[in-house]
Structure 1
Amino acid sequence: MSWTLSFLLLLLLLFHSQQATQDLTEVLNQIWRLDTNRLKPGTDYIISLQGSAGFVPQGSNYARDLARAPLFKYVNEDKLRSIETYLHFVNLLDNYESSTGVSERVTSEELQENRLFINSMMETDVMKHAHKYLVRKRQSPSDPEQFKKQLYDIWFRLYHRDKSGGEDSCGFEHVFVGETKFGQEIMGLHNWVQFYLLEKHGHVDYKGYKARDRKNTPDEDDHVLNLQFSWKGLVKPLGSCFLGVSPEFEVALFTIIFLMSNEKKTSVVVKVDEYVLELVVYRHGRSIGTSFPKLLSSNHKDL
């Protein structure tokens, strides 16, 4: 192959990559605008960022506490109970064994809770738009019932995370509920509602926020946060989560990224509303292994 042809192919690949990123940015911003169930910072929830968390050596479970108070000062729990997707989401959080290697046993009641959650999401404009986009991209079936099955397989189908045990994990458990690995490491737990409820009952301890640099320190009105915390006697040196967004927004966003790539790890940098985010999704066969946002910067901090 000649140098000229190789160069032209490279330009073509770059063009398609830029087009794909632009297309993804547009759909993610659209579902952001459609997320009417998103809670408002300062009104529906109030956080206290406090100090910037320090460095934790690999394998250590000690972190200096730079946040003596909880992260959440207030959350409007009436909305968690009255908005259907939140209500059904919260009902799922006690359905899992946190330790990998311990087989999950899904009861008929829990299966019904999973279906109720998916059904409630499908009633929202967020998920309707995500479905429409994925059908247009030929990644999802047009039949809503078949799409629900696809969502179930992506998020709730059990698989082996610890190969020595039974089916001990699924995408929903890892991302939204959290897991521990051999009692030595926190995995997942990237959801603000779960974090709030665990913190409310004294099960997690917020240690402080994590910022890339002084120019990009978070704001208490931000909808994305990088943070450090402890849970079950373990420390997560760097975690990340959206704040205030609805469950359907997160499921829709990460489902889109998952289905638009066949790579084991997909990492895209997009600007959603005022936030420049790195969105990361790991594949576990036909299901999500993990997914999370990283806040890179926001427009009121020298974008």
Structure 2
Amino acid sequence: MKSGMEHVFLAELKDGVSGFHNWVFFAKQEEAGLLNCAGWMKFLDMGTPGALIQHKFVWCSACKPISSMFIGTSPEFELAVYSACLLVRPGSTTCPMLFDTNPVKVTTYTIGSSSQYVASSYADPVLP
């Protein structure tokens, strides 16, 4: 089992693809021929920070039928978003945020006796 942030920024293979919410790792895996993007369902332009997509893909012969990730943002930005939601909304999986007036729902799952550690975290575009 990986740490929560390894789960988010890299990936795990367990009953399919789990985690895998970072565009830099995604691009490197696609460039290496280990990943095939099978299309996107939602796209949200967030202005200066970048974009957010909801998509599906195949990695190491395993399909992830729905996933999401920020595109064009820094790992520091993503870590800050996920950490802020963990700290501001402990015990809640839903953390609403606005990026360039666009609503985004950040989901954070925790582990540990006092729910202080990230198990997973990802953002989804909220489209009308």
**Looking at CA atoms only, which structure, 1 or 2, has the larger radius of gyration?**
1
Q: Encode CA deviations 1:41-70: one digit per residue, 9 max, x unaligned.
A: xxxxxxxxxxxxxxxxxxxxxxxxxxxxxx
Matched, 1:247 2:75: yes
Match of 1:272 among 77, 99, 102: 99
Whole-Å Cα distance in 1 between the matches of residues 103 and 35 of structure 2?
28
Match of 2:10 among 162, 173, 177: 177
Whole-Å Cα distance in 2 between the matches of residues 274 and 199 of structure 1?
31
1:88-99 aligned within 5 A? none
Partner of 2:32 in structure 1? Answer: 201
Contact preservation (8 Å) 1:170, 1:287: no
Normalised to the residue count of structure 2, the TM-score between the two structures is: 0.86
Letter in 1 for 2:52: V
Partner of 1:288 in structure 2? Answer: 118
1:25-64 aligned within 5 A? none
Contact preservation (8 Å) 1:281, 1:290: yes
Match of 1:228 among 30, 36, 56: 56
Higher strand share: 2
Normalised to the residue count of structure 1, the TM-score between the two structures is: 0.38
Whole-Å Cα distance in 2 between the matches of residues 250 and 188 of structure 1?
14
Shift of residue 218, structure 1, vs aligned partner? 5.2
Contact preservation (8 Å) 1:278, 1:295: yes
Q: Encode CA deviations 1:65-115: one digit per residue, 9 max, x unaligned.
A: xxxxxxxxxxxxxxxxxxxxxxxxxxxxxxxxxxxxxxxxxxxxxxxxxxx
Contact preservation (8 Å) 2:89, 2:95: no
Shift of residue 269, structure 1, vs aligned partner? 2.2
Q: Encode CA deviations 1:200-251: one digit per residue, 9 max, x unaligned.
A: 001110000013xxxxx656x8611101000111110100000111111111
Matched, 1:257 2:85: yes
Contact preservation (8 Å) 1:186, 1:231: yes
Matched, 1:191 2:22: yes
Whole-Å Cα distance in 1 between the matches of residues 94 and 58 of structure 2?
26
Change (3 A) 1:262 1:268: closer
| Number of residue pairs the alignment of both structures matches | 122
Higher helix share: 1
Please tell me the root mean square deviation across aligned C-alpha atoms, in Å.
1.8
Contact preservation (8 Å) 2:44, 2:51: no
Report runs of 4+ in structure 1 exceeding 2 Å deviation: none
3-state DSSP of counterpart to 1:210: strand
Gaps of 5+ in 2: none
Shift of residue 275, structure 1, vs aligned partner? 2.3
Indicate the percent of aligned positions where both proteins have the same amino acid: 30
Gaps of 5+ in 1: 1-167, 212-216, 298-302
3-state DSSP of counterpart to 2:93: strand
